[in-house]
Chain A
């Protein structure tokens, strides 16, 4: 039964993608995406309750060979794309990959270790992919009606297929399979980014392609070394060796850092925004970049406390602060979201690398709620683009006069990433507290500074954008709530409701949802206490504070829309100067001067992670 469910959650998206592609019919697409949403979520929930111990599966050997053939086909396709688009780098990297893969095939030992390994972390990813990702595909069906109805089937099919790939990649135990699927996510993002087909799209797609190919190469190098030294071909075998060299772990982590668009490789994710908005939504929230923290969490028990872990902490910490800073300099709404994704991905990986029970829980919370918040924000970005033709944050000025509901959703999305009492705030708070705890034992000292500074920057960033949107010129009760197509609104409403519920009952989620996953990763359950107040060790966030803060953040904006003080009105004072009020916001151009330094430093740190972290020095 469980095996069938696992198979279903991997294969269902592949099959529905095929059907959507072939039929290319709007109604069929809507039906199948909804079906995916329902079935994947139900299966995920059921698996959640049934998978208490890791489940392993032995797919037939045929699958192994099929995947290998597929892998070669895929790499040849990359090679061909490099030739066709006159990008020698892509072709060269593909050749290197083919060479390394052949080498792996030649020396790999015969292994009876199961190739599929399902634990709570996997099911957790299923739930994110199924719940968050499927809603994006549903949104995409309507979005393509506004954009290019003819190619709707093709577009939605790739998105749905992406979900299947994602479900597959989090289930595999075999590193070679992981490589194949890693490159498949690269392929999917490549196809999606170049979807519009213009020069900019193609260039950015190729950029994403070669950067992610580097990640593929580091996986292959790690695998080669692991096979050569230890005969390791599967992730689960890392635990069997106590004296493990750091080389394979460092190179696998490097693949995660590339996939997670960390600083010297951040341009591919920024470039991805030329694609239709659902692409950004799906890349940022449920798929693609989430492979990065997932992989780090898989490796976390093995790298915890090593020099490698410390280097990754320094690197991701640096990227966390720096990308948050660079986001202040951006004016394009989607680029700001992209920078903040990179920043928060660093935080997830930082937390995952440190690897104490609380930080692992924090990483999981960030993965889950960042997925929801970013999906929400990108879908709103899509709505803004299609309905209000707003692309930069300056286009968002006064938009509350036209679209109060959209503004409310954006507000929830932004504030949920930074403000009391939202789940991601609880995660950051737990993180700062845990780091202070470690600080008092004189380990990971600088991380508290990183967290305090990066958190403040992100807060200001979100407030800066919100500030532009809420500048209004009349009483709000006169503003009608905008009517949007229901396929635009429904996914967003579901996300917002989920965020709000998770905020109120955060401790329930912590105790019954996140803590068991932590246990399955490191075998130790963080001692959260029961009840509605968050409390663990000497930390406490009482429920009454959650409720009151919730009331402030969520209900005040709603009330503010309907409340109307019956007092006399006055025009703005402005000291009687006859200026036409034009508002704007900071654009910290001073950061342009230093951004190249940031990139150089991060490149140096990345090399350090590989060289020193990999034990090559």
Chain B
């Protein structure tokens, strides 16, 4: 199993790209459009390499690269590392570089995007930590292999928490109604706006890794039932894409109220209930 997980982690940018391609296709079909080919993200990727590299300053560019490397490392830590909680905090570390890059340039959109990104972290991180705790609570293991081989199916114990997690996915992936930190019509991509060419490539690919990161966490809620896990992942992504098509952007206040007022209590209640019940 270790080998499979390692290979998966190694290939995660490619798989993430494929998921992104699928997403664009699905969303287009939902809107009755033809949509781009599934490999379109990779065509874009290669096109970006041809572009003339431009940068605002080296610190900014380096932070973009650091974002990609750290995000990949977080995926590695999640898939082969011995502790999923550490992986979640490493994911925050990756976002730290993203926000640092956004903050480092004198562009109002970039800084505003980075600030909004902080709100995303504030909204999503506790729920991810809760998810890890829930997985530990139901499987008794912090280790991905332990979770994947345990006898219990976490989602059966943690349905409310799983709902909260699914609703956190748009916050993490910056999808409507919570695409606040990107908000193309408002702040033109937020913290990514000042990247271009090769350096944008890093940020662009790092965002594919986010699919893998959240996808794996969702998958773990199937426990040792991999088919269920795969179904959960598929259902989650389909739901999020549908939601993305069907809703309009909310404001940051709504997001915080929703995450802290509804999702957190929901997740916490589920964990507490399971703890008391046994």
Contact = CB atoms under 8 A, between A and B. Distances in A.
A574 B108 contact: yes
Contacts of B111: 467, 471, 581, 583
A425 interface: yes
A474 B108 contact: no
B85 A581 contact: no
B137 A440 contact: yes
A541 B86 contact: yes
Interface residues of B, number: 69
B99 A467 contact: yes
Interface in B121-150: 121-122, 125-126, 129-130, 133, 136-137, 140-143
B43 interface: no
Interface stretch (B31-39, B61-69, B217-225, B238-246): B61-69
A567 B55 CA distance: 7
B250 interface: no
A545 B93 contact: no
A187 to B, nearest CB: 41
Interface stretch (B167-175, B202-210, B227-235, B267-275): B267-275
A386 interface: no
Interface string B8-35: 0000000000000000000000000000
A453 B105 contact: no
- Interface majority SS on B: helix, strand, loop or mixed? helix
Interface residues of A, number: 66
Interface string A576-593: 000101110110000000
A540 B89 contact: no
B54 A569 contact: yes
A429 interface: yes
B97 interface: yes
B84 to A, nearest CB: 11
A468 interface: yes
A464 interface: yes
B232 to A, nearest CB: 22
Nearest to B137: A440
Contacts of A433: 85, 136, 142
A568 B51 CA distance: 12
Given A471-B111, A476-B58, A575-B188, A540 B105 contact: no
Interface stretch (A150-158, A239-247, A549-557): A549-557
A564 B58 contact: yes
Given A436-B136, A442-B275, A459-B92, A565 B61 contact: yes
Contacts of B198: 567
Given A560-B59, A565-B61, A574-B109, A419 B93 contact: yes
A402 to B, nearest CB: 15
A199 B111 CA distance: 40
A471 B105 CA distance: 6
A586 B52 contact: no
Nearest to B60: A472
B108 A579 contact: yes
Contact of A439 (B82, B106, B141, B275): B275
Contacts of A448: 130, 133, 271
B126 to A, nearest CB: 4
B163 interface: no
A475 B110 CA distance: 18
Contact of B100 (A442, A466, A540, A571): A466
A418 B69 CA distance: 20
A573 B106 CA distance: 9
Nearest to A470: B104
Given A429-B85, A541-B86, A552-B66, A573 B100 contact: no
B194 interface: yes
Contacts of A540: 82-83, 142-143
Interface string A413-454: 000000110000100010011001001101001101100110
A273 to B, nearest CB: 25
Contacts of A470: 59, 100, 103-104
A202 to B, nearest CB: 39
Contacts of B73: 548-549, 552
B53 interface: yes
B125 A459 contact: yes
Contacts of B55: 565, 567-570
Contact of A459 (B59, B69, B121, B197): B121
A330 B107 CA distance: 24
B104 A456 contact: no
B249 to A, nearest CB: 18
Nearest to A426: B86
Contacts of A457: 122
B168 to A, nearest CB: 12
Interface in A496-552: 538-542, 545, 548-549, 552
A575 to B, nearest CB: 6
Nearest to A448: B133
A236 B43 CA distance: 73
Contact of B89 (A429, A542, A586): A429
A563 interface: yes
Given A445-B276, A575-B109, A586-B115, A542 B82 contact: yes
Nearest to A468: B103
A69 interface: no
A583 B70 CA distance: 27
Contacts of B119: 460, 586
A473 interface: yes
A420 B86 contact: yes
Contacts of B197: 567
7 contacts: A429-B85, A436-B133, A445-B272, A467-B115, A561-B59, A572-B107, A586-B118
Given A472-B59, A572-B194, 8 more contacts: A439-B275, A440-B275, A445-B275, A446-B268, A452-B133, A456-B122, A459-B121, A568-B55
